Amino acid sequence: MSRHFPNSCWAHARFKESLGYAFNFEKMSWIERLMVRMLAKAKSSQSHIGMGKIAALAASISEPLQ
């Protein structure tokens, strides 16, 4: 992820985590489906959401800043 953000932003970010992704082809327009097929190489709807990572992030957000 760090290569997609400037170093100045990355250095100041408190949370740096990928939580997953989902593609719902049924809700996409034809152009959106075409772009997802080309860029992500996905041919159907899929969901890869890290529920454990989301729970861990939510817990760390509720901790006080130091």
Residue 66: the pLDDT is: 65
Residue 45: the pLDDT is: 96
pLDDT by residue for the chain (66 residues), tens only, comes to 778 888 888 888 888 888 999 999 999 999 999 999 999 999 999 999 999 999 999 998 887 766
Reported in sequence order, the residue ranges of 1-65 that DSSP labels E, i.e. its strands, are 20-23, 46-49
Give ∠ CA 13-8-52 in degrees, rounded to 5: 25
Residue 11: the pLDDT is: 86
Query: What's the alpha-carbon Rg for the chain, to the nearest Å?
Result: 16
| Rounded distance between C-alpha atoms, residue 14 and residue 10, angstroms | 9
| Rounded distance between C-alpha atoms, residue 35 and residue 4, angstroms | 19
Model-wide pTM > 0.75: no
